[in-house]
Amino acid sequence: MKKPSLTTWILLATLGGIVVGSIIGPWASNLKFIGDIFIRLIQMSVVLLVMTSVSAALGNVDGAGAGKMSFHTFKWIILFTVCSAFVGLALGFIIQPGVGITIASSANTTAPIEVGSLQETLLSFVPTNVVNAMAAGSMIPCILFSIFFGLAMGAYTRATGNHNVIELIIGFNAVIMNIIKIVMKLAPIGIFCLLANVSGTIGFAVVVPMLKFLGALFIGNVIQFLLYGPLTAALCKVNPLKMPKKYAKMSIMALTTTSSAICLPTKMEDSVTKFGVSRKVADFTGPITMSMNSSGAVQCYVLAILFMSQSTGIILSPYQMVMGVLLSILMCMGTIVVPGGMVVVYTFLAASLGLPLESVAILIGIDWFSGMFRTIMNVDIDVMIAMLVSKKLGDFDPDVYNEVKTQEYGPAALPKTQ
């Protein structure tokens, strides 16, 4: 008999966790710490994986190639994010997720946060101390430093012919990937415990009054996949019907962990081994799209704004709606990519648009469920962006996508000495 794959074990753990948690009830919360250990084991390597991957990827291309790769990556990130925001806006007006739920505006359930200006937000992307940024898990400052480090490392290597620095970075990246591969063997256990806690403690009854909101997220995901999937396949000249099977493993990870950061290693490896993306492009686009492409999240943010407005009976002006969409897009850059970060986002949006904070509480109550829809779309579109960039650079391999040949996610190649 064929040995079950890790994807199969994760799927079984998903179903088992839901069933066991439903049977044993609140006691399942005692299992949560095991799932938290699994999440932390992945998190402890994510910052180092991001920085070494981006640095190694840029160290392998010349200045012009790096600029071209960056341009096309950000082009698709912006395009998909803006389109997704308007998908969420349209669904919010059509489905009206907040209608039928009345939330009184009494005492605030969450203290308002101070809303920073656009200049302050952009300034925070530039680190004054990269070690502090690494310790805080601030992805965009870490990525920005890695971009400069990679470009400088590539220039040094080409000028001197000395590969010692880039060999060190590539070797360090390979070691981090090996750590993550070891940790991933524990994924079924971690996911089982996380879902047992959700179904036993939080329960699924909280979903009932919010079915319209979650349904809108689901419909939006389907629309996005039907739009972006065929577009990506057409531009890459491959069959879009093969995508769902290739997405299976990372999609299950996204649904069960609700964290783009936890899915990053799996996403990067599958981009190369299943979708035909080059290792160079996967190492560059993977970390950047994790932090800045949030097509699933921006749809959720816009829907959340309309839910808070509709459920509290406050009508937003056209100006407020435009500001809501722009703020939602802005919040996608550097959004916290681990479970639980949405409390900050929802509060930020409510405070910025003058909406009562009482509606934030119910959104937080179903955040794990809405997180499933956010994360799966974020991760899947990340791979589409990698495919499009790889195709534009001439590095896309359709034979790997079509399973004519295999491609391993091996160590990155050293740059050629100029």
The mean pLDDT of the chain is 81
| 8 A C-beta contact, residue 280 and residue 57 | yes
- Cβ within 8 Å of residue 101, ≥6 positions away: 209, 210, 307, 310, 311, 362
Q: Residue 192: how many CB atoms within 10 A of its CB?
A: 26
Q: What is the reported pLDDT for 209? A: 66
pLDDT at 19 over 80: yes
CA distance 352 to 354: 6
- The torsion angles phi and psi of 277, rounded to 5 degrees, stand at -75, 145
Q: What is the reported pLDDT for 109? A: 39
- Model pLDDT for residues 121-154, shown as the tens digit of each residue: 678 778 889 899 888 877 778 888 988 998 898 8
**How far lies 264's CA from each of 8, 170, 323, 364, in Å?**
19, 18, 31, 24
- Model pLDDT for residues 259-312, shown as the tens digit of each residue: 787 888 889 899 999 999 988 888 888 888 887 777 888 999 999 999 888 888
Among the listed ranges 83-92, 170-179, 225-234, 343-352, which one has the minimum average pLDDT value?
343-352
Q: What is the reported pLDDT for 338? A: 42
CA distance 109 to 381: 34
Q: Residue 293: how many CB atoms within 10 A of its CB?
A: 29
pLDDT at 64 over 70: no
- Model pLDDT for residues 347-401, shown as the tens digit of each residue: 777 877 878 766 776 787 677 788 888 889 989 999 999 999 999 998 899 999 9
Q: What is the reported pLDDT for 113? A: 42
Q: Which tokens sit at 107?
A: 């005492």
CA distance 408 to 20: 37
Q: What is the reported pLDDT for 291? A: 75
336 pLDDT tier (thresholds 50, 70, 90): very low
Task: Report all structural domains of the chain as residue ranges with CATH numbers, in order of start.
Answer: 6-397 (1.10.3860.10)
Among the listed ranges 57-61, 94-98, 375-379, which one has the minimum average pLDDT value?
57-61
**How far lies 257's CA from each of 227, 238, 274, 275, 339, in Å?**
25, 30, 21, 22, 8
Q: Which tokens sit at 311?
A: 């459920």
Q: What is the reported pLDDT for 232? A: 95
